[in-house]
Amino acid sequence: MPGAQPVKAPAFWSDPSSPVGTLLAPLGWLAGAYALARMRRPAPQGPLPVICIGNPTVGGAGKSPATQAIAARLAASGERPAILTRGYGGSLQGPVVVDPARHGPEDVGDEALTHAALFPTIVARDRLAGARHAAEQGATIIVMDDGFQNPSLAKNLSLLVVDGAVGLGNAHILPAGPLRAPFLPQLGLAEGLIVVGPGAAGEAVAVQARQAGKPVVTARLVPDPSVIAAFAGRDVLAFCGIGRPAKFIETLGEAGIRNAILRPFPDHHAYGEEDAARLLDEAARTGLPLVTTAKDAVKLRGGPKREALARAATTIPVVMDFGDPGLIDRFLSAVRPRRA
């Protein structure tokens, strides 16, 4: 698949006592200093207000569901949101409006396709050009999935997302750990923090944010009840290629699935025919129904086994449920366009 290839996070990123992280820490300090200097550069203003949903670390934390939840609240308030993303894993430079009937994950990436099923979505490596294209398409506000550390487009509101079970990992900076830059300076450039799911690691990050005077919103991922109800009390065979595959299993368990056998793949995995054949064979052998995420379902195309897997697997859509939706709405009201 063209574009950046998925890389599995090394185990020492989650282990604060690992000597590897300590050994690499000086490299992280240098990388972090460069990243912060870049983040602090003046950014050009786009034609529309920009809400950035970012995270302080690499890897999955829940940015995409948060992006969709924010866009949904904006749409409910009368705005015409467009989602802007660089199209990780795709080959198109953009700016281009994503069309799921015409584009595949090899063109625009998997996340852009899941967004485009719900909201107008623009893929653009040049985010300023993407913002201008969104305005030309009639959008009134932009929700940007990722790009917090990128200074190419000014943000009116930035919310950082962390996974409650993982937090900041070993709290070291790339390559010593998962942080993209020192955490507190990053937090200082954001307006708030969203902690997705329970966990001591996430609560520790929330404490730091509150001590720094930043509002914290808790959130959880909730599967579509009309879909998940068919599997309540049952065992399933689950497969996914997301930042932390165990999060999918946790979400399924909280929704009432008795036991989910997980077959994990790297984040942004491009499924091959052999992958699909193995999953189909195991489902046939065990008699278990197959379930997957929306992000994975959009990649099940381009071959007979993949298309058979797409027909056999049930996609479990999830939405982000905010613990304090009123606080989210107050954030959004501060940046929504003023109209006469």
DSSP per-residue letters across 68-104 = HHHHHHHHHTT--EEEEE--TT----S-EE--TTT--
Instruction: Judge contact between 266 and 1, C-beta under 8 A.
Output: no
Distance from C-alpha of 245 to C-alpha of 59, rounded to nearest angstrom? 11
Q: What is the pTM of this model?
A: 0.89
Check residue 175 and give its pLDDT: 95
Instruction: Judge contact between 263 and 290, C-beta under 8 A.
Output: no
SS3 state of residue 8: coil
Distance from C-alpha of 316 to C-alpha of 51, rounded to nearest angstrom? 27
Check residue 14 and give its pLDDT: 87
CA atoms within 13 A on the CB side of 154: 10
Check residue 257 and give its pLDDT: 86
Check residue 247 and give its pLDDT: 87
CA-wise closest residue to 238 among 258, 221, 268: 258
Q: Which residue has the tokens 């697997």?
A: 313
DSSP string, 18-38: -HHHHHHHHHHHHHHHHHHHH
Instruction: Judge contact between 81 and 140, C-beta under 8 A.
Output: yes
Question: pLDDT per position in the chain (340 positions), as tens?
Answer: 333 444 567 889 988 889 999 999 999 999 999 999 999 999 999 999 999 999 999 977 889 999 999 999 999 999 999 999 998 889 999 899 999 999 999 999 999 999 999 999 999 999 999 999 999 999 999 999 999 999 999 999 999 999 999 999 999 999 999 999 999 999 999 999 999 999 999 999 999 999 999 999 999 999 988 898 888 888 999 999 888 888 888 888 888 888 888 999 988 899 999 999 999 999 999 999 999 999 999 999 989 999 999 999 999 999 999 999 999 999 999 987 765 4
